[in-house]
């Protein structure tokens, strides 16, 4: 039985809690949150606290606060023989090095409290201060059904940056497309088949090799038409820079 | 039986040909391509020509050349009583107005010759010079199994611009993510669950409302870390501009 404490009841913490509490090899012994009001709803299921000294002795302490609080929380936490991990994509592991055992347990997914995610579909990036702890964290990853990757701190930062490009920024481009559609009375769903196809293709190919559109064709007439059409200054700038990038990359 | 000629054996033309030839209500009577060598392989299946005057009398003439050749081809074509259509996202319908019957039959998909697409998953944007022709084009769309949308020339341009943002530019961002992963020895597939989730979410929500990541959180520390990490000047510029855009949009 692995005893676990969850520290920080944000999107990651709550998803971890809801997933782990169903596993028979795991027992969640405490849940900490700075504001107790936010976790009062869990008090019948689990020991809750807003006092870091009350956190119970655990095999693994999962710090799932926002990035800027990790170090402060870690410094106050009595980790003992347990492994203290954080769940952040862009925070180095060594921030936790005051503990005997420490590591990172980073789920690569956009998690929200409202919609619980199935960890089977979430890659977990694992790093630890030694091989024994790596194994223990991999075991936890296996229990929740995730595919685990060993990813060191530099790689994790790289992965986080890549995820920002591939997900956060693409979502923003979808927002711009959404605006253009609704402003012109076109159902946004008209684009879904094309978007799905783009996704299917990159799962099979190096995305560079399947680039389509006016930029890769150096179709300056269409590019000019598009730029004339776009009213938003911001969208115009984004169109220009991404177009220039595609054209420049074509020579690679 | 609808008699059809396909003019231009590029990605769109070949996909149209391969789909239409299987339909019992359609007969393809000619296929034109400027360079006959490229279509010699089809000569046993269909009448092929590189002489525009040899194109046979048809109910619908589908001009699927590149955008810059549409007007020239149209001006030379004897359309007679048939409907002359082009398949371009960013070309106005009126370019074909020398004909008695004309319109647009624009499949909103990235088509490639190597991989034939199922038109059931392709929205067709239709426009014509009168209601009778609109109906005829919708009938053709129905025969190939597509969902048809009535989209005027301004809307079609809007849709094309939206598609560039939602597909061409997102594919380019995937390329950047691909580079970051491979340069850091991380399998690109690690990102697929996150990318799929992003897609699923936008099919249910206004993308603005589900924006995640450091920019929307105004997490300047992470943004700085990411910018320090990115070596490519071009990617750095793109990161900055998209981040600024997300932050600015947040106030909307």
Same domain for A208 and A169: yes
Q: Does B164 sit within 8 Å of A226, measured CB to CB?
A: yes
With an 8 Å Cβ cutoff, are B186 and A212 in contact?
no
Q: Which residues of B touch A183 (CB under 8 A)?
A: 158
Residue B92 exposed, middle or buried by CB count within 10 Å (0-12, 13-18, 19+): middle
Closest of B239, B232, B231, B93 to residue B173, by C-alpha: B239
Any idea what the CATH number is for the domain that residue B180 is in? 1.10.1040.20
| pLDDT above 90: residue A133 | yes
Residues A137 and A179 in one domain: no
Nearest CA in chain A to B242: A169
Would the pTM of this model clear 0.90, i.e. be above it?
Answer: no
Select the more confidently predicted residue: A56 or B115: A56
Same domain, B44 and B128: yes
Pair A125, A166 in one domain: no
Are A165 and B176 within 8 A, CB to CB?
yes
Average pLDDT over residues B206-226: 92
> Across the interface, do B158 and A183 touch by the CB < 8 Å criterion?
yes
Mean pLDDT (chain B) is 94
Q: Is A203 in Cβ contact with B192 (below 8 Å)?
A: yes
Same domain, A42 and A147: yes
In the predicted model, is pLDDT for residue B87 greater than 90? Answer: yes
CA nearest to A144, candidates A168, A120, A125: A120
Residue-level pLDDT at B8: 97
Same domain, yes or no: A180 and A144: no
CATH code of the domain containing B9 = 3.40.50.720
Shared-domain flag, residues A86 and A210: no
Mean pLDDT of the A81-91 span: 95
Collect all residues of chain B within an 8 Å Cβ-Cβ radius of residue A161. 180, 226, 229-230, 239
Averaged pLDDT for residues A151-157: 93
Residue B16 has pLDDT above 70, yes or no: yes
Q: In whole angstroms, what is the distance from residue A244 CA to residue B152 CA?
A: 29
Same domain, B130 and B217: no
How far B160 CA lies from chain A's nearest CA (Å)?
8
**Euclidean distance between the first and the last CA atom of chain B, given in angstroms as a whole number:** 53
Q: Which domain-ending residue is among A151, A178, A193?
A: A151
Give the closest-approach CA distance of A44 to chain B in angstroms: 31
CA-only gyration radius of chain A, Å: 22
ipTM of the complex: 0.86
Q: Tell me the residue length of chain B.
A: 252
- Contact in structure between B67 and B90 (CB atoms under 8 Å): yes
Determine the pLDDT at residue A249: 81
What pLDDT is recorded for position A252?
Answer: 56
B132 with B8, same domain?
yes
Domain boundary among A133, A151, A169: A151
Task: Please choose, from the candidates A119, A132, A125, A120, the residue with its C-alpha nearest in 3D space to the C-alpha of residue A59.
Answer: A132
Mark whether A56 and A167 lie in a shared domain. Answer: no
- Of A119, A151, A183, the residue at which a domain comes to its end is A151
pLDDT, mean of residues A204-228: 93
d(CA A107, CA B186): 15
pLDDT of amino acid B252: 56
Query: Rounded distance, CA A74 to CA A52, Å?
Result: 10
Average pLDDT over residues A229-249: 95
* Per-residue pLDDT tens digits for B98-141: 999 999 999 998 787 777 888 888 999 999 999 999 999 999 99
Taking a C-beta distance cutoff of 8 angstroms, is the pair B221, A68 a contact?
Answer: yes
The pLDDT of residue A251 is above 70: no
Per-residue confidence (pLDDT) for residue A90, from 0 to 100: 86
Range of the domain at A47: 2-151
Same domain for B168 and B47, yes or no, is no
Domain count, chain A: 2
pLDDT tens for A36-54 read 999 999 999 999 999 999 9
Query: How close A123 gets to chain B, by Cα (Å)?
Result: 7
Inter-chain touch A68–B181, beta carbons under 8 Å: no
Q: What pLDDT score was predicted for residue A115? A: 78
| Residues A108 and A225 grouped into a single domain | no
């Amino acid at each position: 039985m692995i005893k676990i404490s969850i520290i920080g009841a944000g999107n990651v913490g709550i998803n971890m809690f809801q997933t782990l509490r169903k596993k028979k090899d795991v027992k969640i012994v405490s849940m900490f949150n700075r504001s107790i009001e936010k976790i009062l709803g869990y008090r019948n299921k689990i020991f809750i606290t807003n006092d870091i000294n009350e956190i119970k002795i655990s095999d693994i302490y999962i710090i799932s606060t926002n990035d800027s609080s990790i170090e402060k929380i870690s410094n106050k936490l009595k980790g003992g023989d347990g492994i203290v991990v954080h769940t952040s994509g862009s925070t180095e592991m060594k921030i936790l090095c005051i503990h005997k055992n420490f590591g990172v347990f980073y789920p690569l997914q956009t998690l929200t409290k409202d919609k619980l995610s199935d960890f089977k579909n979430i890659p977990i990036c694992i790093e630890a201060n030694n091989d024994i702890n790596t194994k223990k964290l991999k075991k936890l990853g296996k229990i929740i059904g995730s595919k685990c990757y060993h990813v060191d701190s530099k790689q994790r930062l790289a992965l986080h940056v890549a995820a920002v490009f591939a997900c956060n920024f693409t979502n923003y481009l979808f927002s711009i497309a959404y605006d253009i559609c609704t402003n012109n009375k076109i159902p946004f769903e008209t684009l879904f088949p094309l978007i799905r196809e783009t996704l299917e293709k990159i799962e099979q190919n190096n995305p560079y090799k399947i680039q389509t559109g006016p930029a890769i064709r150096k179709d300056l007439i269409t590019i000019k038409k598009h730029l004339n059409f776009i009213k938003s200054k911001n969208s115009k700038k984004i169109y220009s820079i991404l177009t220039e990038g595609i054209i420049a990359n074509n020579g690679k």
